[in-house]
Each structure stands twice: as C-alpha cells, then as structure tokens.
Amino acid sequence: MRKLLPFALLLGAAIPASAGSQERLPVIDVHMHAPSSPGRVEDFQPELHSWITMMDNLNVRLSVLSGVPDILFAWHQETGDRVIPSLLFPCENGVSFNWGRPCFEDGGDWPDIDRLREDIEAGRIRALGEMGPQYLGLSPSDEAFEPYFALAEEYDLPVFIHMGPGPPFSAYEENPFDVRSPNYRAAAGNPLLLEEVLLRHPRVRVVVLHAGWPLADEMVLMLYQHPQLYAEVGLLQWTDIFPRDEYYSFLRRLVRAGFADRILFGSDTMLEEGIDAILEADFLTDEQKAGILCKNAAELLRLGEEICR
C-alpha cells in the first residue's frame, strides 16, 4: 500500500500525450498539497515541475495549495496567481500529520497569530487549511481553533477542514503512513461538530474536505442548515481504499439532496483520477460536472465565472 500513497501517485503519474487542455473542462482544484515529507525545499523541484505540467495538461486553472510555511511559500513564488496559498495546521510534535515535515520555525504545533497576520497581510497566505483537528482528536469547534476562525473572519479567508477519512487504522501501528496519529478519532470527523463554530462565525466560508465520508446524512443536514458550508470530495477517488460504487453512492446522496452547487472538486494530489471520476459519473448532468469541477469553487473563492470559461 505504501507505494500507492497519494503523493507517490503524483510523483509517478504519467502525463498522457494531451489532446490539448482546451478540450477538457476547466478545473479548480481546492485541495492540493505541497510536499509534506521532510527534505530540502529545492530537492522537491521535480515534483513541482511535474505538477505544473499536469495542471497544464488537465486544464486546471487554479489550485488551493496547502502546506507548511517553507515549502508553501517557495511553491507559491513559482506558481504565482495559479495558486491560492493555504496554511496547513495544527501539527503534532512539531511536524505535519501523515508525512512529518517540520512545520513552524518555533518548533510548535500551532501558527503564531502575529506571524500569521503578517503572512496574510503580505499575501503569502490567503486561506486556512488543510486544518486537521481530527488528527489530534479535537472537534473543529474546540476553543483552540477560535483565534484562527476569528482571523479568517477578519480577513475574509476561506477555511478548509479535514473531516472523515485519514489513513486506514489511523490511531494504530497498522497506519501505513510515515507518521502515526495515535490521537486520531473517527468521532471527531462528524460534520455536526462544526455547528458551534459556524454559528460563532457565520460569515466564514468553510469547506469540509473529504465531505465527512461516510457520514452523508450528517453532511446533508449541515449543508441544509448552514449556507456558508461546502463539501469537497478529495481522496474518495482513490480506488485502492474506496470502491468506486461507494464513492458514487456517497456523492449521489449529496447531489440527490439538492446540494450539487456546493460540492467542490479537490484532488488531494490525485488529480487525473479525481477529475476522471467526476467526468465518468453518469448520474451527474453536464452542468453539475462543470459546477463541481470549477464553477462552484469560483463562487466559493469569489472569482467570477470567467475563470471557468
């Protein structure tokens, strides 16, 4: 399983001789990761270039790029306005979840608020997430996140929160990822746990990454109750873990409930597989596919529809 972990797929993915990106539907990827493994930033240049080529070939117009500061800032500098840089946190024992890249200069697990404010004002950070409270067994409404939601509200930043599936057997030794997550709790991935923080900060746009799988009923109920909430489907395209029927019946449940216009595409580094899974879903109309792949994200990010033409 290890060699098939998502980021490895990015590294090894073949780029098809493209028929030309203009023939493909435009895409906004709201869930891309800068490398989260340890290592010198410059050593990841090949990954950066293969990702840029893949964005070109697959007609990806914009990506929300999540990472810890050093590599996030470096990759943003090289990609400019094709990327919305987004800060990944909290960390655990000073390193990022799953992969172990050291996070902050002070060695802590949480971003310093004054420093974060500077980075936001300088345009180095334009979104918050992937936030992973579940990796620490925390609810997203835990007071530890309160200063960050307050900042998101003050600067009108979208917030991206991991809810639902982490690695299989996350809290056990059997967890196949480089860094174990003994504090991971399934129960902390219930979308209902967002309710208090959403009500405290009703103007903050919040995206549930992985859509809280498999809790479709809870996700539907939260979309029904909270207009500022979106669901993103990254990771669910990974057929090693999620049988395609399971992904589709989960996605269909959200669509059937009437929320196709608040479902977002995210690759979680598996770009081509993720796009193809949406394109091949025969229960989606062409309009719904275009919405999920691009227009809904343009709306969330307040970019106007131009970017999706």
List contacts with Zn ion (CB under 5 A): 162, 209
- State the nearest-atom distance from the C-beta of 209 to Zn ion, in Å: 5
- Residue closer to Zn ion (CB basis): 101 or 162: 162
- State the nearest-atom distance from the C-beta of 38 to Zn ion, in Å: 19
Q: Classify the C-alpha dihedral 151-141-98-48 as positive or negative.
A: negative
Token pair 């991991």 is at which residue? 162
- State the nearest-atom distance from the C-beta of 23 to Zn ion, in Å: 31
Q: Classify the C-alpha dihedral 59-62-67-73 as positive or negative.
A: positive
- Residue closer to Zn ion (CB basis): 207 or 209: 209
| Sequence-distant (≥ 6) Cβ neighbours of residue 79 within 8 angstroms | 48, 52, 63, 65
- Residue closer to Zn ion (CB basis): 233 or 308: 233
Token reading at 18 = 């493209």
Q: How long a stretch of residues is the chain?
A: 309
Q: How far apart are CA 20 and CA 24, in angstroms?
A: 8
- Residue closer to Zn ion (CB basis): 57 or 175: 175
- State the nearest-atom distance from the C-beta of 70 to Zn ion, in Å: 20
Q: How far apart are CA 296 and CA 305, in angstroms?
A: 9
- State the nearest-atom distance from the C-beta of 167 to Zn ion, in Å: 10
* Secondary structure class of 238 (helix, strand, coil): coil
Strands (E), 17-158: 27-33, 60-67, 83-89, 127-131
| Sequence-distant (≥ 6) Cβ neighbours of residue 180 within 8 angstroms | 171, 172, 173
Q: Please say whether the beta carbons of 197 and 141 come within 8 A.
A: yes
Q: How far apart are CA 223 and CA 241, in angstroms?
A: 26
- Residue closer to Zn ion (CB basis): 76 or 162: 162
Write out the H or E segment, with its range, that includes residue 298: helix 296-300
- Residue closer to Zn ion (CB basis): 68 or 209: 209
- Residue closer to Zn ion (CB basis): 138 or 209: 209
* In the complex, residue closest to Zn ion by CB: 162
- State the nearest-atom distance from the C-beta of 257 to Zn ion, in Å: 23
- State the nearest-atom distance from the C-beta of 111 to Zn ion, in Å: 18
